[in-house]
A and B are shown apart, each in its own frame.
Chain A
Amino acid sequence: KQEVTQIPAALSVPEGENLVLNCSFTDSAIYNLQWFRQDPGKGLTSLLLIQSSQREQTSGRLNASLDKSSGRSTLYIAASQPGDSATYLCAVKGGNNRKLIWGLGTSLAVNP
């Protein structure tokens, strides 16, 4: 059974820092992995989708990597800004049912 873990659960950094959020999964047989952002009381915004055949994806200040063999993905945020404050969730799609299996998220606070 696929399990997704995100570490740390919460992170507080000063503005301008580069930071890394971690996501690990137990079953390497995945189709893809998706990173989302969720603002308080809001829906989910898709940030990056990495297919199982890919190693990384980039969008602006965000870079996500995928290492299937070790069951890990990282989301790198460069030059963090207060507007980056949100909860970041990763979800993997895999297995026979092809559902998204979710982590509990990392709550990020970027302080001015």
Chain B
Amino acid sequence: EAGVAQSPRYKIIEKRQSVAFWCNPISGHATLYWYQQILGQGPKLLIQFQNNGVVDDSQLPKDRFSAERLKGVDSTLKIQPAKLEDSAVYLCASSRGGTSYEQYFGPGTRLTVT
């Protein structure tokens, strides 16, 4: 079974520029998550999708971050405009759905904002 795919793996941009990340979850996984992990901290949930609907986006800075999951499969996370404090690893995870299932993570995208 293929794992969670993410691209790009690394991205360097200047502040005020925009950037987009892509995630392809494990086939058949209904739930998709985007996390932000700042160095030395645990992951912070930005948004959770169940199929193509948003379940939780309470910690998503909606003035600059947006995410979509069209057709309930792939997802994109966008930041516009980026700030220095957005430098982090952005992790995508998926699970079968429901409370009991494990979350499987992709390799992450390391974003550096200069």
Contact = CB atoms under 8 A, between A and B. Distances in A.
Q: Do A and B associate with each other?
A: yes
Given A32-B100, A44-B91, A93-B99, A102 B105 contact: no
A100 B110 CA distance: 21
B100 A51 contact: yes
B105 A104 contact: no
A103 interface: yes
A5 to B, nearest CB: 11
Interface stretch (B36-44, B63-71, B72-80): B36-44
Interface residues of A, number: 24
Contact of A104 (B4, B40, B100, B104): B40
B56 A42 contact: no
B99 A43 contact: no
B108 to A, nearest CB: 4
Central interface residue in B6, B41, B42, B45, by most chain A CB within 10 Å: B42
Contact of A105 (B42, B48, B93): B42
Nearest to B110: A41
Nearest to A47: B102
B41 A43 contact: no
Interface in B27-71: 40-43, 45, 48, 56
A102 B41 CA distance: 9
Given A43-B108, A99-B56, A104 B42 contact: yes
Interface string B76-93: 000000000000010101
Given A41-B89, A44-B43, A45-B105, 20 more contacts: A31-B99, A32-B100, A34-B103, A42-B107, A43-B106, A44-B105, A46-B102, A46-B103, A46-B104, A49-B102, A51-B100, A89-B42, A93-B99, A99-B56, A100-B43, A100-B45, A100-B103, A102-B42, A104-B41, A104-B42
Interface of B: 4, 6, 40-43, 45, 48, 56, 89, 91, 93, 99-100, 102-108, 110
Interface of A: 4, 31-32, 34, 36, 41-46, 49, 51, 89, 91, 93, 97-100, 102-105
